């Protein structure tokens, strides 16, 4: 137990952990199964270009997402670029795509990469999800599409966004990078809008080292995306689209399948961790676990809290420093809103106060199968000790940082 500021590793105490506890540790599944699959890949001598494991992975992801088509890809950023660049999005350089202010930079980068202009929209102050009321106000004659992001596995207000897109003749895409296995009410995330995008990056709930997918029920779109990921070659072997190389290789698919095998046990562990954190942090003022709408299923892959500086007596970044010194590698997801990032800083003309406030407060704590209930007890104890001495910790941190 840590009682005083002296006990904190930041000020000379022994660290709570000798080995890091991290956000984003890969869910690798059963290593023996992965190695069996890798042997199969090597025996097949088929390493990339739409191999059998890639097809198996696509079929399983499509089933999980409740859609007809899964087009697997090398990562989610390329998937978003392909959708924004699709002819159904249309648009001339400088045309606009509405994106939320609170997301990973990839969402806006994909738009800019295709020569369109990301128009940044503020978010709901509690969920951090794109706010449909504000979306409507941003639509202009140059708007071509809306991209909603299912942040932390929470479903966007999909029905309202679908209505807005329909009424205004816009394409609607969802960046579902953090939301595989989550639902909107009883419907799996994957089938909303014109298409959704998953990420299978190493840090995601299902990982394929690097990987992504476009999922959709639109057969023509799926066919075009299959062509685009393979240099534009269509089903007949002729180049039909301006393409890229977005293929998912067989080693990635082997990991993806193995990680997918472990999904349900990972979710069960995450859910238990979430409840343990909630109980352990209940009496800590100002450090509030995000509460999720119980109508939707969340995989609890991210253990998000907000740190209210006034109530906790210390800023999120000071708590982050305290935790990291203890080898608790929390993450400030996200430290800056989209319009605060250098490439987009000149573009926003309206204030985005909700996203800006959340970027000062949000913190992801370690969870996942490698983090036990005992670990959470220790992590929460450090948080409690830091908050109990919030003003003193803040003052000492400031003095030490100034002296460095």
In the complex, which residues of this chain contact ligand T4K (CB under 6 A)? 22-26, 75-77, 103-104, 106-107, 149, 175, 177-178, 199, 201-203, 212, 329, 331
**Which residue, among 360, 357, 362, 355, has the nearest Cα to 134 in the 3D structure?**
355
Backbone angles phi, psi at 77, to 5 degrees: -65, -45
Closest contact distance (angstroms) between CB of 330 and ligand T4K is 9
Closest contact distance (angstroms) between CB of 71 and ligand T4K is 14
With respect to ligand T4K, which residue has the nearer C-beta, 331 or 380? 331
With respect to ligand T4K, which residue has the nearer C-beta, 75 or 394? 75
Q: Tally the C-alpha atoms within 13 A of residue 356's C-alpha that lie toward its C-beta.
A: 8
Closest contact distance (angstroms) between CB of 224 and ligand T4K is 20
Cβ contacts of 325 within 8 Å, gap of 6 or more: 8, 9, 10, 15
Instruction: Name the CA radius of gyration of the chain, rounded.
Output: 22
Closest contact distance (angstroms) between CB of 317 and ligand T4K is 16
Cβ contacts of 9 within 8 Å, gap of 6 or more: 15, 16, 322, 325, 326, 327
With respect to ligand T4K, which residue has the nearer C-beta, 248 or 387? 248
With respect to ligand T4K, which residue has the nearer C-beta, 177 or 358? 177
Closest contact distance (angstroms) between CB of 257 and ligand T4K is 17
Closest contact distance (angstroms) between CB of 212 and ligand T4K is 5
With respect to ligand T4K, which residue has the nearer C-beta, 188 or 286? 188
Rounded to whole angstroms, the Cα distance separating 84 from 111 reads: 6
Whose CB is nearest to ligand T4K? 24
Q: Tally the C-alpha atoms within 13 A of residue 92's C-alpha that lie toward its C-beta.
A: 2
Rounded to whole angstroms, the Cα distance separating 303 from 178 reads: 12
CB 192 within 8 A of CB 163: no
With respect to ligand T4K, which residue has the nearer C-beta, 5 or 273? 273
Q: How many residues does the chain have?
A: 404
With respect to ligand T4K, which residue has the nearer C-beta, 40 or 327? 327
Closest contact distance (angstroms) between CB of 401 and ligand T4K is 22
Closest contact distance (angstroms) between CB of 95 and ligand T4K is 21
With respect to ligand T4K, which residue has the nearer C-beta, 222 or 330? 330
Question: Is residue 381 classed exposed, middle or buried when 0-12, 13-18 and 19+ CB atoms within 10 A define those classes?
Answer: middle
What is the DSSP code string of 92-155? -TT-EEEEESSS-THHHHHHHHTT-EEEEE-B-TTT--B-HHHHHHH--TTEEEEEEE-GGGPP
């Amino acid at each position: 137990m840590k009682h005083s500021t002296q006990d904190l590793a930041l000020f000379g105490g022994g660290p709570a952990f000798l080995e890091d506890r991290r956000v984003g540790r890969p869910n690798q599944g059963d290593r023996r199964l992965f190695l069996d699959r890798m042997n199969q890949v090597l025996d097949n001598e088929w390493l990339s270009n739409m191999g059998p494991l890639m097809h198996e992975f696509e079929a399983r992801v499509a089933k999980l997402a409740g859609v007809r088509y899964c087009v697997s890809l090398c990562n989610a950023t390329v998937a978003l670029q392909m959708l924004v660049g699709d002819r159904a999005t249309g648009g001339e350089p400088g045309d606009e795509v509405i994106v939320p202010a609170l997301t990973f930079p990839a969402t806006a980068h994909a738009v800019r990469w295709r020569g369109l202009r990301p128009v940044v929209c503020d978010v709901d102050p509690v969920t951090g999800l794109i706010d449909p009321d504000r979306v409507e106000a941003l639509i202009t004659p140059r708007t071509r599409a809306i991209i909603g992001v299912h942040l932390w596995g929470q479903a966007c207000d999909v029905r309202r966004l679908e209505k807005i897109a329909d009424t205004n003749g816009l394409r609607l895409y969802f960046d579902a990078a953090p939301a595989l296995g989550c639902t909107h009410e009883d419907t799996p995330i994957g089938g909303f809008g014109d298409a959704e995008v998953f990420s299978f990056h190493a840090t995601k709930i299902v990982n394929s080292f690097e990987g992504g997918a476009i999922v959709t029920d639109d057969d023509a779109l799926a066919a075009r995306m299959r062509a685009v990921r393979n240099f534009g070659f269509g089903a007949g072997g002729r180049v039909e689209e301006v393409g890229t190389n977005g293929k998912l290789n067989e080693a990635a698919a082997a990991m993806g399948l193995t990680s997918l095998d472990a999904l349900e046990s990972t979710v069960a562990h995450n859910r238990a961790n979430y409840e343990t954190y909630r109980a352990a942090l209940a009496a800590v003022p100002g450090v509030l676990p995000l509460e999720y709408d119980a109508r939707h299923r969340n995989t609890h892959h991210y253990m998000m809290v907000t740190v209210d500086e006034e109530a906790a007596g210390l800023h999120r970044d000071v708590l982050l420093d305290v935790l990291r010194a203890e080898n608790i590698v929390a993450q400030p997801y996200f430290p800056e809103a989209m319009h605060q990032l250098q490439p987009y800083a000149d573009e926003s003309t309206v204030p985005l106060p909700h996203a800006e406030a959340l970027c000062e407060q949000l913190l992801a704590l370690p969870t996942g199968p490698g983090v036990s209930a005992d670990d959470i007890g220790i992590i929460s104890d450090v948080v409690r000790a830091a908050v109990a001495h919030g003003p003193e910790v803040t003052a000492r941190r400031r003095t030490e940082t100034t002296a460095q």
